[in-house]
Structure 1
Amino acid sequence: MLHKLFLNKNFFLLWTGQMVSQIGDKFYGIALAWWILQQTNSPVIMGLFMAVSVLPGLAFGVFAGVFIDRWNRKILIIASDMLRGICVIVIAFLSVIDILELWHIFAAAILISLASAFFDPTVKAVIPQIVEQEQLPRANALSEIIDASSMIIGPVLGAAFVSFFGFTLVFLINGLSYLISAFFEGFITIPPQVDSPSADYTLRHEIETGIRYLLSRRKLVVTIGVIGIAHIFVGALIVSLPFLAKALSGDSIQTLGNLEMMIGFGMLLGALSIQLRGKSHFKDKNLFVFIAAMGIFYLAIAITKSITSTFVLPYMLLLLLIGAAIANASVYWQSILQLNTSSDMAGRVFSISSVVGNISLPISYGLFGILLKYTSILRLMLFSGSALLFISIVLMYFYHYGDKESQDNSLI
């Protein structure tokens, strides 16, 4: 029964480790944000910390892909989790002896970001090695369930633990969660890489090889383009939510929490729907259908805003649907990349996709944050919804054209 639900032992061990560490991550994130707020009361320091938590991984992401394709992936996963766990446990220890300072937090954030630049793409590259191809959508849906569940319960439990037990215990829980994750990963069996480095192996050569590989495959290029575009417009929604909550009835902070929670619930339901379908036929073009659906729901938010400005329920329903569309789109793009990338190139492809996704969000936050100074939420949602619909149709055409082109080339 366990194997039927979690596909096989190896994936179950990987999934369990991810679940433990991601919930611990949410604990750590909310505790750190509150600690920095108490120590500095500075939005500039908070913003700088958020940048430091992301930028090192972005800067090193493409390079990490080469090592993921050439080194033992099991060791990389375990080492990344152990490094992250040790960093956070050191933070907990410094907190216990009451010498924890801001620079300690920043140094740990840099190391954790670098470790994550290896861990996240490696996990995505490993899944096709331990799961049958026809089970990839279900495997990715199970991973998406982790993201959604940790988004729903992590911040709530993390805030409660900080309130009752203080920062140190929450730091310790997160550090131990990484080490527990590494423990589970130690029992995973991952097939060895069959490809060996070329004679003229250099970092630059391997990066160039990966980029040429990616650019020669239209499906991969279009799919990564979808990732960037989806993140940009998800960012537009996230930036708009506090302003939307403020305009709605009731306490704006509580309303904001409810709206964000509905996105998490939607993601959970969307991932569960894919997982429960089992071995149903995988139609990769559904990726564009779900991106278009996001556009329609954005337009529905704009229409709802023009009709009513105080009733919360319609917005909660629409955000639930948006969350479900996001989860489905995420599962599809991961599965498409896994199915269309050779194992010896998966690290580079997923590293590039991670960089594209991670860099799109901060750009979106800045861009749409500025736009909201000069326009309304209604107009922003109209623009975002229309853009998503148009772009999904255009990218579907290019994706389909690439599919036909590859079929024509195979006949030559």
Structure 2
Amino acid sequence: MKREKRVFNINFILYLMGRMISDTGTSIQMMTMPLYIIDAGGSAATVGLFSFASLVPALLIYPFAGVLGDRMNRKTIMVITDFVSAGVILGLAFISYLDKMSLTLLLLGQIIISLLNGLFDPATRGMLPQLVGQDELTKANSKVASLRGLSVLLGPVIGTALYANFGITVLFLINGISFLLSGISEMMIRYKHVKRESAEGISGIAADLLEGMRFILANKIISKLCYFFLVLYSLIQPIFSVVLPLFYKTHLNYPDTQYGYLQSILVLGMLVGSVFVGLFFGKDNTMFTPLKIGCNILIGSMLMFSLLMFPNILFVLGNDSILYFALLAVILCLFSAANMFINVPVQSFIQRETSNEYMSRVFSIVGMITRGGMPFGALLYGIVLDRVEVHWIVLGATLLVILIFAGFLSSLSVVHHH
């Protein structure tokens, strides 16, 4: 047993390494994309469209990826998608090096990467509970989230510095190589695929999907969490991907490198949040306490964020002052820490409640539902931002979120006590 446990931990380390390397590469590239698009003559709508192209294809392929992840070897899926992603991104690097890059090509490349990511994600989430014990899940998820945080933290600082000095080609090159290394790391994981009987063809896939849906609907808490995250993500995620870069470029007088710092602060919050969840709730099998804490911090930081955007406050504090920047940084840090208090325990809860044969499907369906609102949220924010002042939009979104939280937490406690 001792030997097996040690091997399992080596597997978990390889799993973490693969994730960390490709996450770092991706964040180096992705964080600078809005800046590159604006520099290349794109508008708010183009940034919104890029956000849309990063998310929608993954969502469309998610349900099938879940069926694949439960039928096929999850390790094989991870390795192949990483290698193909590397090929596509290195292709973009070459096109950019030849000076033939266009916004259309960029969007096309992003769509392919997004599809591959959609295949990769349910397989990795389904694989994790097989690499660590049930009682270790919250700790393991908090480690995955912390390392992801760390890699995304390194990304913007390295990315904006490299972009300012060397342009976009180098960023593509680094990201492509990171996917190659990630695939190599995953190849070394010792993992046993449990084959199960399943019907062939389209009807078999449909039957598998329906089984996954039934499982989710039968679990009252998981289905409630799905609706909650759907609304939450569509309202909150675009604030990071669309509102923040635009507000930064149009209302604040800081250089681009400072934008990189803000992105890093967001991730620092993520890191702090996931570490705290691991420390205080790692042994705890409940998700309700951290969830409530997270919801309260999130509302508080959103309110403060919308206040900071009001012209009068911007005028008093100064749109290029150290004080304003520091306040913005603290609020964004709290904002993303709150997200981890909500995310990590919920993920562990779903992994504990789900048996291995359903794992990838349940995560793919939950992922599709919860993230389904994000791209439409991004598009909507992009359109509304051209017509309504940014501070009113964020304040409106905050008030909506308060109402949603109140309703959700009260309905969840009813289900929980039953």
TM-score, normalised to structure 2, is 0.82
| Structure 1, 349-358 or 27-36: larger mean CA deviation | 27-36
Which residue in the other structure is 2:121 paired with?
120
Residue 354 of structure 2 is aligned with which of 341, 354, 362? 341
Paired letter, 1:361: M
Gaps of 5+ in 2: 318-322
Paired letter, 1:88: I
1:207 aligns with 2:209: yes
1:292 aligns with 2:296: yes
- Residues 194-233 of structure 1 show CA distances to partners (whole Å, capped at 9, x for unaligned) of 6432589612222222212211111111222232233123
The aligned runs of 1:44-59 (5 Å cut-off) are 48-59=49-60
Whole-angstrom distance in 1 between the partners of 2:190 and 2:277 = 26
Which residue in the other structure is 1:408 paired with?
none
Shift of 1:72: 0.8
Shift of 1:76: 0.7
Does the residue aligned with 1:84 lie in a helix, a strand or coil?
helix
Paired letter, 1:182: G
Paired letter, 2:72: W
Which residue in the other structure is 1:353 paired with?
366
Paired letter, 1:109: Q
1:332 aligns with 2:345: yes
Whole-angstrom distance in 1 between the partners of 2:256 and 2:36 = 20
1:268 aligns with 2:271: yes
Shift of 1:103: 6.0
Does the residue aligned with 1:196 lie in a helix, a strand or coil?
coil
Aligned Cα RMSD in Å?
A: 3.4
Paired letter, 1:299: L
Which residue in the other structure is 1:398 paired with?
411
| Structure 1, 137-146 or 80-89: larger mean CA deviation | 137-146
TM-score, normalised to structure 1, is 0.83
Which residue in the other structure is 2:41 paired with?
41
Paired letter, 1:294: L
8 Å contact kept, 1:53–1:109? yes
Shift of 1:344: 1.5
The aligned runs of 1:214-293 (5 Å cut-off) are 214-235=216-237, 237-238=239-240, 239-241=242-244, 245=248, 251=254, 256-277=259-280, 279-285=282-288, 286-293=290-297
8 Å contact kept, 2:138–2:283? no
Whole-angstrom distance in 2 between the partners of 1:82 and 1:212 = 34
1:19 aligns with 2:20: yes
Whole-angstrom distance in 1 between the partners of 2:182 and 2:313 = 47
8 Å contact kept, 1:16–1:181? yes
Gaps of 5+ in 1: 406-412
Aligned residues: 401
8 Å contact kept, 2:161–2:257? no
Whole-angstrom distance in 2 between the partners of 1:72 and 1:144 = 24
Shift of 1:294: 0.7
